[in-house]
Structure 1
Amino acid sequence: MLGSIYDWPRRRPYVVDGILTAFLGLSTVPTGFATDGVVGGLLSVGMIAPLFWRRSRPARTYAVVALSCFAEVLFLEKPMTANVGYLFILYSVSAYARQNSVRYTALGVGVIGSFLGPLDWGILQTSDDAADVLLPGTALAILVAFIWTFGDLMRTRRAYVGQLEERARRLEFERDQQARLARSAERARIARELHDVIAHSLSVVVAQADGGLYAGEKNADAARTALATIGQTSRQALSEMRRLLGVLRTEGEPDPGPPEGAAPDRAPQPSLAQLPDLIAQVRASGLPIDVRVTGDERPLAGGTELAAYRIVQEALTNTLKHGGPQAAAAVRLDYARDTLNIHVLDNGRGLSAHSDGQGHGIHGMQERIAVYGGVLRAGPRNGGGFEVVAQLPLSAEERRRGAKRE
């Protein structure tokens, strides 16, 4: 509420300046006409009317108002109430003028004018006492210096706020750019991993086809087994190929490839069979982990197991980084009929965990789960700690395998 009230005058400067000009004009111009005739009225207009342009053209507006004040000293025998307009334009030229020469010239003219008026209306007309000039002149000079300094402080503050806003916009842009690059890199990594899974499946198909062809001449049962394996593996490879193409088409972002100077990663892609090794490695780092597997445990497609492995790996890595020295974790795998449910939780710092802003692990898990049309929820737990809950849908072939075991 307070922020909107503060921003309203900044967004509508001409409305604010129009209201100010109208108020000062109605308060001073009629008095000028009534007290000093046409000359006083016109000079009052010259001091007040230009204030409408005090922000957009501060130097020119100041020149008009200052000349009107000088003419007042020349042609009138006493000051007018319209002189208040000079104080507003002095603030404006200090706050909004771009050239320092204009700003300091305005200060000098204001100080000189502070003594010029009392000199004309004091010693030259009604008094021969120097104190009648020095005292009011000094007071007016102090007032001029104060208003000019206040305008300069506001100019400095406005420039500082502008720099902060620009920096915030730049940091937000860089953050979004880093997130896009991280998503692109994660998609490329997923694509490379799925490529290895498909290549492995096709190698199995080729080996089974060659073995089936050889066995078909002597053992019909072995040939049928080989053909069944070929059909099953080919369907899995086709499903993974569709997912791979889906990853490569996402937003049309190119594959950034491995870091410059680094060799491509050709290590075999992990599966849930390597999950005990991962758990042992993390435990060796000092993180206690409780593992439970429920449901009808069975082999799944290579891409599905790879996605599950990576989600558990990333969740445990986040716990190691942010959970704190006393944290403990738990990993739950549930083989349901239609889904593989993954739940990784810890009792670490949760919301109070420090983040350096460089991690994109959750984004990576979201990208990976999206390839399989799954659901991911990651965030602080009620009562403390952090949890990652993922649900990976299973293919028709994987569901059939589960049904056969029942």
Structure 2
Amino acid sequence: MNSFETYLRRHAGWLDAALVAVLAVASIPWTLHDHRPHRVAMIAVAVLLPVPLLWRRRWPFETFLAMCVVAFVQWVFLLPVFSDAALLIGLFTISVRETRQRIIVAAVILEVGVILAVWKDARPNPNWLIALIMLSGLVVAAAATGRNVRMRAEQLREFENRALRLEFERDQQAQLAAAAERTRIARELHDIVAHNLAVMISLIDGGRLGMDHNPDQARTALTEAGTVGRRAMADLRQVLGVLRGQQDDPERSPAPTIADLDSLVASARDTGLRISVRMHGDLHDLPDPLQLSVFRIVQESLTNVVKHATGATSVTVDISMTSTSVEIDVTDDGTPTSIEPHAVGHGLSGIRERAAMFHGTADAGAVATGWRVHARLTRPARSVEAPIHVSAGATHE
């Protein structure tokens, strides 16, 4: 709504009063040329006829009927006056504010009044037909103009409501996007901190126990713990840089991919685990987001082995790719410390969320040889067209 329309609405009462005054005052000269005794009555009618317009916004139809009564008295006893234009304003107001039925009734009443006025003046006026056409045209114009104003107002209200809905939906989408980003960052922080701390604790414990009997091995374990800690700090700096909006930080490294599995497995091996990795298919052709999810699932699974699998000595990581999916199997030979050790904290829920991002599933449970984590991720359609080079079960130990 522009400032002019706001001004009109704010001062509507004063504007209606000014309109009544203009119509009443303009009707007085209309009657001065008539020297019949009822000139005073004509002036009184001319002044009273537009007065009901003061209430036209609150009771438009009742106001119009009141003016019609005064106009009928004028038609019976007196001559037409300029303030008869108030009837057209009343019809216009009804067209803006009332129902279609009332608009039709008011238009018919006013048209009957036009016919009566022209008929009364037909004998002395040879141009009565032209007068009838012109006055009838004014009736139609008043009704049509009011209807157009009403339609425009309804359209403006609809546009305003639509703008409010779009603004609300935009805010909700922003909130959902922020919540999703917070969840993603929390998941990244959990994966980074949980895995690296678990590896560091195992390395430090191993170094402490071997300090007296095997100093060289203890020194190596502590050195590797420092390396893992620095790598964790770099990953944390990357995630926190995103939170601070530091998109151009030169220290930020790209997100982990399949190529980074070697370093991940190497750090886990330093805890004393024997880890066998088998990859079927050219996983490097996968999209980067899918490679990140595969990396994080393997990372979380190895973290769970280090933290929860009692007596585990070996782990098998099997990653296979088909034209439609990627399957991940991580199996260890340890003894679970509880019914569902991998369900402790957010580890398994994080794996399931990452699988769900690619319309996949994930589950974990005890098997004959220990504990198994299995996840199946659906490949995006755009990567299906990429050629698949299947290797004969390449093994990395």
Deviations 1:209-240 (A, max 9, x none): 33213322323354356456657866987999
Q: CA deviation at 1:13?
A: 2.8
Partner of 2:86 in structure 1?
85
Matched residue, 2:107: 107
Corresponding letter in the other structure for 1:90 = L
Can you list the C-alpha shifts for 1:118-177, whole angstroms capped at 9, x where unaligned? 223444xxx4x8x55444223211221122112112212221222122112211211221
Task: Give 1:104 shift.
Answer: 0.6
1:203 deviation in Å? 1.7
1:65 & 1:164 partners in 2: Cα distance?
36
How many Å apart are 1:182 and its aligned residue?
Answer: 1.1
Once the 2 structures are TM-superposed, how far is the Cα of residue 73 of structure 1 from its aligned partner? 0.4
CA, structure 1 residues 228+52, in 2 after alignment: closer, same or farther (shift >3 Å)?
farther
Q: Does 1:187 align with 2:182?
A: yes
Q: Describe the superposition over 1:322-368 as per-residue Cα deviations: whole angstroms up to 9, x where unpaired.
A: xxxxxxxxxxxxxxxxxxxxxxxxxxxxxxxxxxxxxxxxxxxxxxx
Paired with 1:4 and 1:140, the residues of 2 have a C-alpha distance of 34
Does the 8 Å CA contact 1:115/1:133 hold for their aligned counterparts? no
1:50 equivalent in structure 2:
52
Match of 2:97 in 1: 96
Query: 1:62·1:90 contact (CA, 8 Å) conserved in 2?
Result: yes
Letter in 1 for 2:146: G
Q: 1:290 maps to what in 2?
A: none
Taking structure 1 as reference, are residues 207 and 58 closer, same or farther at Cα in structure 2, changes over 3 Å only? same
Deviations 1:266-307 (A, max 9, x none): xxx727976xx9998789xxxxxxxxxxxxxxxxxx9xxxxx
1:155 to 150, 154, 171: 150
Secondary structure class of the residue paired with 1:200: helix
Task: Output the amino acid matched with 2:7.
Answer: W
- The AA in structure 2 aligned to 1:79 is P
Contact 2:188-2:239 at 8 Å conserved across structures: no
What's the % identity of the aligned pairs? 34
Structure ID, larger Rg: 2
* Structure 2 CA distance for aligned equivalents of residues 50 and 34 of structure 1: 26
In structure 1, which of residues 40, 43, 64 is the aligned counterpart of residue 42 of structure 2?
A: 40
Structure 1 residues 187 and 219: CA distance shift in structure 2, 3 A: same
Aligned partners of 1:149, 1:163: CA distance in 2, in Å?
Answer: 21
Instruction: Say if 2:25 and 2:47, in contact at 8 Å, map to a contact too.
Output: no
Residues 69 and 243 of structure 1: CA distance in aligned 2, closer, same or farther (over 3 Å): farther
Q: Is the 8 A contact 1:211 1:226 kept in 2?
A: yes
Q: Quick one: structure 1 residues 238 and 114, their matched pair in 2 at CA, closer, same or farther if it must change by over 3 Å?
A: same
Partner-residue secondary structure (3-state), 1:79: coil
In structure 2, distance between residues paired with 1:68 and 1:33? 20
TM-score (norm 1): 0.52
Distance 1:28 1:205, change over 3 A: same
1:170 equivalent to 2:198? Answer no
- Corresponding residue of 1:207: 202
Say if 2:258 and 2:284, in contact at 8 Å, map to a contact too. Answer: no
Kept after mapping to 2: 8 A contact 1:29/1:82: no
User: AA paired with 1:86?
Assistant: L
Measured after TM superposition, the shift of residue 109 of structure 1 is 0.8
Cα distance in 1, alignment partners of residues 208 and 52 from structure 2: 98
Q: How does 1:251-400 map to 2 (within 5 A)?
A: 270=256
The CA distance in 2 between the partners of 1:187 and 1:171, in whole Å, is: 24
Structure 1, unaligned stretches of length 5 or more?
Answer: 249-268, 284-301, 303-406
SS of match in other structure, 2:50: helix
User: What's the counterpart of residue 24 of structure 2?
Assistant: 25
Q: Matches of 2:209 and 2:234 in 1, distance apart?
A: 28
Q: What residue ranges of structure 2 are gaps of 5+ in the alignment?
A: 244-254, 261-281, 289-298, 300-397
Cα distance in structure 1, aligned partners of 2:227 and 2:143: 84
1:18 Cα offset (Å): 3.2
Retained in 2: the 8 A contact 1:46–1:64? no
Aligned mates of 1:19, 1:4 — CA distance in 2: 20
- 1-structure distance, mates of 2:239, 2:287: 30
In the TM superposition, residue 183 of structure 1 has moved relative to its aligned partner by 1.1
